[in-house]
Amino acid sequence: MIIVYHENNKVIGVNDGIKKLSFSDKNIAVTLFEIAIAFPEELVIWCHSDFKSNLNVAEFHTIFHHQKIMASYNPFQNSFLSDAIGYVEESPFLNINKNVIYPTWLMSSSVGGIHASVLLALKEDVKVSYNLDYFLYSLAKLAMPHGLFCYSEPQLLCGIKYQNKIHKNSNFILFRFVKQHYKTRWIFLLFLNFLLYKNRIALLPLFYSFLYSQRKLKDNLLEKIDVQSTKRVVELGTVDVIIPTIGRKEYLYDVLKDLAKQTHLPKNVIIVEQNPNPDSVSELDYLENEIWNFDIKHIFTHQAGACNARNLALAEVKSEWVFMADDDIRIDKGFLDGVFLKINQFGVNVLTLACYEEGYSFNKKLEIQMQWSSFGSGCSMVKKQFLEDIKYNKRFEFGYGEDSDFGMQLRNLGTDILYFPNPEIIHLKAPIGGFRTKPVLAWQKDVIQPKPSPTVMLYKILHLNEKQIKGYKTILFLKFYKKQSIKNPIRYFSNFKKQWKRSLYWANQLRNQE
């Protein structure tokens, strides 16, 4: 482990935990690359001199449990980059929960670390900057989609209180960052949002950004770095499978047969069968008529709704792990073994697996394991300990957003959600079956129909910041114009404001429900 201490964007000392080391260049980013060349097998730590006595060195082996982890911690009130970045990015990676380890590319110069092998892999493609914060932001933003796992990690420091210092944000830096790390159209949208919501004409920052070109990384730069986590996340290796179902008897049977062929057998399969017809009975006769090599817990309910069904199933889970499945998927016999291989390799507690329609174009598939911005309720494996205090929010029932909301609940518990391209799940997307009646939601009778859907708005109110919601509003306004019937822009603008207001109203009604 090599530690670089810095102050005022200059290196003031380097040591290996025992003795001082000499590096000539005072530019911190250049020094980090020099260290990586000299010590290619080491963990490289940076730390501001103010936090030297607070370095929690004893926890570093737990934090950096494999080589593709980059972690930092910002103990200050705000970040180096203005929160107006929310105007152009809607991801969950911006709103950091500082009390737990949390996925984000918002790195901090206060303290952090990265393995030398990652720096060496990125050395020719990541530009150095005089400002360490800008360099770290850029590196993380570029490398995160390529398989670098980036976190805010409070355990990097110990015995430190929340700092009152506030970063002085620059609109010039913000526009430059957006120009270099997003598609060009986003700087114009950023300019528009400044005009709409801040009443500011940011012409100089806009023009300044054109001095810089977009940054990109080549594909597969990090692929040669071996990953083998030292974190032990599997003790028993037992797994329960939960499956909500409604009117898909034949498809569910195929899922059960696939589970019965697994080389790593599930211990329990929990099926929640729904049929809102009060006179109905279960149609799943094969659950009793056939012998299965796992225990089946069958719950039959007249209450329809995926949120309710999954909550009923989660309450019955007994095993160490839970595979959350759909009733119309197909998996090969080595699927669960393959999932546990990934769990052990990356030391992960939650993973969402690739789930595609049969015959889906190979060229369109995501082939890189990465931090995931969403969550798949029908294609994920979750460690049971993270499911004990959360459940699906029934305010989202029959709407949109319950998966994303559940994912945010998991992140706020201090666990990341990783996406893996394999083992793969085939999603048959079976036709809707069974006795189904589409519920009439309260806002469907509204004279002014809300836009967006109130459940979509609810998710954004619960989990996004003000800038992100306003940025989404601008995009929705522009995209929806060509899809609706009012072509007079003034009338459209007036009507859109009314629809947005109704969406906010109904979202808050949902939020206040018991």
| Confidence label for 17 from pLDDT (cuts 50, 70 and 90) | confident
pLDDT at 483: 86
Average pLDDT over residues 233-246: 97
Q: Which residues contact 381 (CB under 8 A, 6 or more apart)?
A: 239, 321, 322, 323, 324, 339, 343, 350, 351, 353
Distance CA 485, CA 377 (A): 35
Check pLDDT > 80 for residue 361: no
pLDDT digits (tens, 9 = 90+) for 71-102: 999 999 889 999 999 999 999 999 999 999 99
How is 67-88 classified by DSSP, letter by letter? TTEEEE---SSS-SS-GGGGGT
pLDDT, tens digit, for every residue of 104-143? 999 999 999 999 999 999 999 999 999 999 999 999 999 9
Spatial distance between the Cα atoms of 128 and 119, rounded to a whole number of angstroms: 11
Alpha helical stretches, state H, 144-202: 171-181, 185-198
d(CA 253, CA 248): 9
* pLDDT surpasses 90 at 363: no
Mean pLDDT computed over every residue of the chain: 94
In this prediction, residue 440 carries a pLDDT of 83
The rounded percent of the chain whose pLDDT value lies above 90 is 86
What one-character DSSP code corresponds to residue 224?
Answer: T
pLDDT-based confidence at 160, cuts 50/70/90? confident
Burial of 212 per CB tally in 10 Å (0-12, 13-18, 19+):
middle
Q: What is the pLDDT of residue 421?
A: 95
Query: Are the C-beta atoms of 64 and 119 separated by less than 8 Å?
Result: no
Please state, in angstroms and rounded to a whole number, the distance separating the CA atoms of residues 398 and 457: 14
Cite the DSSP H helix spans in 299-440: 306-314, 335-346, 402-411
Query: What's the number of CA atoms in the CB half-sphere (13 Å) around residue 368?
Result: 17
d(CA 415, CA 503): 31
Bridge-based pairing of strands 350-356 and 418-427 is: parallel
**For the chain, how long is the longest CA-to-CA vector?**
81
The region of weakest confidence among 68-72, 201-205, 444-448 is: 444-448
What residue segments make up the domains of the chain, in order of their start?
2-156, 239-427, 442-511
Mean pLDDT of 349-369: 87
Beta carbons within 8 Å of 25's beta carbon, 6+ residues apart: 11, 31, 34
pLDDT digits (tens, 9 = 90+) for 489-506: 999 999 999 999 999 999
Closest among 163, 16, 139, 127 to 71, alpha carbons compared = 139
Q: Rounded to an integer, what distance in angstroms lies between the CA atom of residue 202 and that of residue 194?
A: 7
- Please tell me the distance from the alpha carbon of residue 33 to that of residue 118, in angstroms, as a whole number: 10
> For residue 435, is pLDDT > 60?
no
Beta pairing partners, 143:
none
Q: How far apart are CA 444 and CA 453, in angstroms?
A: 10
So what's the pLDDT on residue 343?
98
Query: Tell me, what amino acid is at 172?
Result: F
Q: Which of 166-175, 230-239, 302-311, 453-462 has the lowest mean pLDDT?
A: 166-175
Window from 56-60, 228-232, 426-430 with minimum mean pLDDT? 426-430
The Cα–Cα gap between 409 and 462 comes to 10
> What is the architecture, at CATH level 2, of domain 239-427?
Alpha-Beta Complex (3.90)
pLDDT tens digits, one per residue of 242-290 = 999 999 999 999 999 999 999 999 999 999 999 998 989 999 999 999 9
Rounded Cα distance between 30 and 26, Å, is 8
Q: Would you say residue 18 has pLDDT above 90? A: no
Report the alpha-carbon distance of residue 475 to residue 193 in Å, rounded: 10
- Give residue 430's pLDDT: 86
Q: What band does 162 get if pLDDT is binned at 50, 70 and 90?
A: low
